[in-house]
Structure 1
Amino acid sequence: MMSTTKSLFSASSGQGPFDRSQAERQLALEYLAEAWNSAEEDGLESASLAHASLFAALATFVRMHGDEATADLVAQLPDRIRNGEYNLERILQ
């Protein structure tokens, strides 16, 4: 069997308004990776970038979908994290 690294934006069970096309999410991730790398080259710490990214993402979701829908999305994160959906080193077989 061939193993592949799971993408950060792999298809999930569907999140209603949060479900976006795989190709668009991958392109967005590439843009963010480029900006992230530039910021690190300028001396910003990864933890600071992660906190700023989370804040920006959550603020955008709140603006687009409201407090309750965003809170519902965030409430699903612990299980998704524990299931490895955000582990870039996770190998699928």
Structure 2
Amino acid sequence: MMTDRTDLGETGIDAQKRAALDHLYDAWAEATTEGVDSDVFVHAALFVALAEMVETYGEVAVAELAASLPTRIQSGEFTVRRLYQ
């Protein structure tokens, strides 16, 4: 039985973000099952994401976001699995 995310206190935009991530993980799993290399999938996903963002927000805004990525990545914002000792 699937748990309704609202039962977990997740509503609105949080639920949409979680659903979107679930769809991406499912697509990734399906692609790798069909023989698509993970690196190829990652590059394609980044291309689609950036192209959609440029279409929505414009090149300048997306370039500013991209410029902020090194600091955000190095600070662990995108680290899903962390090793604790």
The TM-score by the shorter chain falls in which range? 0.7 to 0.9
Number of aligned residue pairs = 73
Identity %, equivalent residues:
40
Moved over 6 A (4+): none
Q: Please, what is the CA RMSD of the aligned residues?
A: 1.8
**Residue 88 (1) aligns with residue 83 (2):** no
The gaps in structure 2 that reach 5 residues or longer are 1-11
Q: Which has the higher strand share?
A: 1
Which residue pairs with 1:13 in the alignment? none
Which residue pairs with 1:50 in the alignment? 42
Query: C-alpha displacement at 1:91, in angstroms?
Result: 6.5
The letter of the residue matching 2:43 is H
The letter of the residue matching 1:47 is D
TM-score (norm 2): 0.79
Distance 1:91 1:60 in 2: 33
Distance 1:23 1:75 in 2: 28
Q: Describe the superposition over 1:26-72 as per-residue Cα deviations: whole angstroms up to 9, x where unpaired.
A: 11000111111000000000000000000000000000000000001
Q: Describe the superposition over 1:3-43 as per-residue Cα deviations: whole angstroms up to 9, x where unpaired.
A: xxxxxxxxxxxxxxxxx922211110001111110000000
Q: Which has the higher contact order (CA 8 A, sep 6+)?
A: 1
The letter of the residue matching 1:83 is S
**Residue 34 (1) aligns with residue 29 (2):** no
Highest Rg: 1 or 2?
2
Aligned pairs for 1:53-72 (under 5 A) are: 53-72=45-64
Distance 1:23 1:62 in 2: 24
